[in-house]
Amino acid sequence: MSVKYVPVIWNRTKLVYDVVVLAIVGAYLGIYIYLAPTFQTVTRPIDWDIYKAQAFGTCVFFLLTFILSIGPLARLDKRFLPLLYNRRHLGVITCVLAYFHVDYILGWYNAFSPINRYVSVFIVNTSFDRFLGFPFEILGILALLIMTILAVTSHDFWLHFLKPTLWKFLHMGIYLAYALIIGHVALGALQSAAGPFMTAATGVSLTLVITLHLLAARKEHLIDSLKSTLDDSGDWMDAGSPEDIPDKRARIISIEDDERVAIFRNGTKLSAISNVCAHQNGPLGEGKIVYGCVTCPWHGYQYRVEDGRSPPPFTEKISTYRIKLESGRLWLNVKALPPGTYVEPVVSPMTGEGS
C-alpha cells in the first residue's frame, strides 16, 4: 500500500523472500558450474562459456516454471500465498539471469566473426520454413523481450498507470514467453546439447505447470458455475446461512455474468463488498479481517468492510453491496453500489457467540 512511489518498498518479508530466492539461484548455479563438472564423464570439458550459458539458461527455465506454478498453487492451497507476495522480484531476477545466458552465447557462438553479433542472430540462420533447424534463438529473443517489458513494468507505478486489468493482461505475456521458451529449448538444447536428465526435467516442468493451471482453472470454474437462487424481483440472491461464515472471514458468492461478492462476518456484523481488490484484482473474499479491515490475501491491501475504502492515508476504494437477513437467511442485492458507498452492517444475533 503506497501513497507515493519509491523505487522498491522493502519490508522483512520481502528481504527474507529475496534471500531465499538468491539461495535457490546460488545453489543452482554454484552446483551446476563448480560441482557437477567433476562428476561428468566427458573426454574433455564443454567450453567454459557454453557451459555457463547452459547453467544460466536452464536456471531461467526452471525459475520460470516455478514462477508459473505459484499462481495455481496458491489458488489450490492457501498456504502457498506467501510465495505470491514478492513474485515480482523473482521475475526481475529471472530476467536478469536470462541476459547472462544471452551474453555468454553471443560472446561465444556469435563472436570471432566480422558479422556483428547482435545482427547475426537474425541473419545467420534463416531456415524459418523448418521445424528442426528453425532459428530457435529468435524464440528466445522474443521471450527475453517480453520478460524485459514485464520486468520494467513490474513496479506499482505501472500497475496504477495502466490500471490493474490492463496491467494484468500485459503481464499474462509471461505465458507467451514460457511458450516461446519451451519452443526455444525443444528446438535448441534438447536436440543436441542436453543430456537425458535435462530432457526429463523439461518434460516434468511443463507437465507440472500445465497440470497445476488446469486444476486451478477447474476449481475456479466450479466456483463460477455455482448457482444461487434469486428472489422474484431478480435483485436479491440467496446467500445462505450467516452462521456458516467463520468470524473475520467471508463467503464468496458468484453473481451471474459479473464479479464475485465477498460477504464478511466481523463478530455479529455482516457486510458485503466486491471480491476484487483494487490493487491487483486479488480475491478479497479469501482474505481476513485484521485490525478491523478486510485484508487482501495477495499483498495485504486493506479496506474498511462497511464502506470498501482503504483507511487514510490510502485512497483505494471498492464497490459495496447491500445485504438483508430474512428468517435466518442472508440475501444479497446483486446490484453493486458505487465504490466507497457506506452500507450499515447487518447484525445477526445468532452468530453472537462465534470465536
Q: How far is the CB of 252 from other proteins (least distance, A)?
A: 11
Residues 301-340 that bind other proteins (CB under 8 A): none
Q: How far is the CB of 225 from other proteins (least distance, A)?
A: 10
Q: How far is the CB of 340 from other proteins (least distance, A)?
A: 18
Q: Report CA dihedral (355, 85, 173, 214) to the nearest 10 degrees.
A: -40
165 near other proteins, rule: CB under 8 A: yes
Nearer to other proteins, 173 or 340 (CB): 173
Nearer to other proteins, 43 or 327 (CB): 43
How would you class 44 by CB atoms within 10 Å of its CB: exposed for 0-12, middle for 13-18, buried for 19 or more? exposed
DSSP per-residue string spanning 51-62: HHHHHHHHHHHH
1 near other proteins, rule: CB under 8 A: yes
Residues 3-62 that bind other proteins (CB under 8 A): 11-14, 20, 23-25, 27-33, 35-37, 39-47, 50-51, 54-55, 58-59, 62
**Grid cell for residue 196:** 537425458
Q: How far is the CB of 112 from other proteins (least distance, A)?
A: 4
- With H, G, I as helix, E, B as strand and everything else as coil, classify residue 331: strand
DSSP per-residue string spanning 124-180: S---TT-STT--HHHHHHHHHHHHHHHHHTTSHHHHHHHHHHHHHHHHTHHHHHHHH
Q: Which positions ≥6 away from 309 have C-beta within 8 Å? A: 303, 316, 317, 340
Residues 199-218 that bind other proteins (CB under 8 A): 199, 201-203, 206, 210, 213-214, 217
How would you class 325 by CB atoms within 10 Å of its CB: exposed for 0-12, middle for 13-18, buried for 19 or more? middle
Q: Which string of x and - marks every residue 71-100 that binds other proteins (by CB under 8 A)?
A: --------xxxxx-xx--------------
Number of residues near other proteins (by CB under 8 A):
121
Contact 106, 53 (CB under 8 A): no
Residues 167-206 that bind other proteins (CB under 8 A): 168, 172, 175, 178-179, 182-183, 186-199, 201-203, 206
Residues 117-136 that bind other proteins (CB under 8 A): 120-121, 124-127, 130-133, 135-136
Nearer to other proteins, 13 or 315 (CB): 13
Dist. CA 129–CA 133, nearest whole Å: 9
